[in-house]
Amino acid sequence: MPETTSAREQDHQLFAQFVALADDDPTKVQVRDQLISSHLALVGHVARKFANRGEPLDDLIQVGTIGLIKAIDRFEPNKGFEFSTFAMPTIVGEIKRYFRDKTWAVRVPRRMQELGAAVTKATNELTQQLDRSPSIREIAEHLKVDLDDVVEAINANSAYSTVSLDASYDPDAPSLGDRFGSVDEALEGVEYRESLRPLLLALPEREKDILVMRFFENRSQTEIARTLGISQMHVSRILTNTLTRLRAELQS
């Protein structure tokens, strides 16, 4: 990212040169390479914001660089915008698209992924508005879609990878133990035989937190979502995955 006035001027000159060159001019490729190199720091800056979400930083930089190249090709310097302002949404968009495509455990049509996101958003809005969890009919009416499409989106949502679920959990947020006392103590009170307790205690902290809130503190999924700052659908998926794994381990 150009930081000094002279670097900015040089950048403007490079862009002016890049735009003026014909597409078949071999110099154009070299100028573009120079522009890519001089803005790679911007990609690194954006990619680091998406780090800790289960994908290697190098991969994110690679994907973000595709966004940078698209932005360079589309940029019109005579419109007066700073390139970084113009490029940022394209780079972010490319990385988000990568997450959307990459983090589905099974292939879910794009239309259904987008509807899933819309259902999550509508659920949050209606929960605020109604001060209760909305029914599926209310969500369908809000989105002006068929009730069965909402159900299909909910079913498809369960195909979302747990990697991204874990990543969406704010690592800086205080742990449940900080807020409610020891989670392990709550689980120590479980009255089942020895085979269950070690499995519960061995769960990753995030899963243990959610399990305790739902089944030991009797909180609703919506309340848990509010407490943790994640969506109710994320809570639902984490619970489904945790219980499925526990069931398999108990039956093995």
143 close to 150: Cβ distance less than 8 angstroms: yes
Q: Is 243 in the site for other proteins (CB under 8 A)?
A: yes
What is the rounded distance in angstroms from the CA atom of residue 237 to the CA atom of residue 230?
A: 11
Minimum Å distance from CB 215 to other proteins?
Answer: 4
What is the rounded distance in angstroms from the CA atom of residue 86 to the CA atom of residue 76?
A: 9
Q: By CB under 8 A, which span of 30-38, 50-58, 92-100, 218-226 interacts with other proteins? A: 218-226
Residue among 96, 142, 137, 135 at smallest CA distance from 118 = 142
| Residue from 136, 143, 145, 163 binding other proteins (CB under 8 A) | 136
Interacting positions 139-168 with other proteins (CB under 8 A): 139, 147-148, 150-151, 154-155
Say which DSSP state 44 is in: H
Instruction: Between 162 and 236, name the residue whose CB sits nearer to other proteins.
Output: 236
State the residue for tokens 């848990």: 224
Which two structure tokens, joined as six digits, stand for 111?
Answer: 């239309």
What is the rounded distance in angstroms from the CA atom of residue 238 to the CA atom of residue 230?
A: 11
What is the rounded distance in angstroms from the CA atom of residue 6 to the CA atom of residue 12?
A: 10
CB atoms within 10 A of CB 134: 19
- Angle at alpha carbon of residue 157, lines to 167 and 147, rounded to 5°: 145
Minimum Å distance from CB 87 to other proteins?
Answer: 38
| # chain residues binding other proteins, by CB under 8 A | 36
44 close to 65: Cβ distance less than 8 angstroms: no
Interacting positions 94-123 with other proteins (CB under 8 A): 123
Torsion of the alpha carbons at 49, 230, 102 and 237, rounded to the nearest 10:
160
Instruction: Between 6 and 251, name the residue whose CB sits nearer to other proteins.
Output: 251
Instruction: Between 29 and 250, name the residue whose CB sits nearer to other proteins.
Output: 250
Instruction: Between 11 and 152, name the residue whose CB sits nearer to other proteins.
Output: 152
Interacting positions 184-213 with other proteins (CB under 8 A): 192-193, 195-196
What is the rounded distance in angstroms from the CA atom of residue 199 to the CA atom of residue 248?
A: 11
Minimum Å distance from CB 140 to other proteins?
Answer: 8
Minimum Å distance from CB 67 to other proteins?
Answer: 34
Instruction: Between 87 and 238, name the residue whose CB sits nearer to other proteins.
Output: 238
| Residue from 105, 125, 173, 215 binding other proteins (CB under 8 A) | 215
- Point out which residues bind other proteins (CB under 8 A): 123, 132-137, 139, 147-148, 150-151, 154-155, 192-193, 195-196, 214-215, 218, 220-222, 232-233, 235-236, 239-240, 243-244, 246-247, 250-251
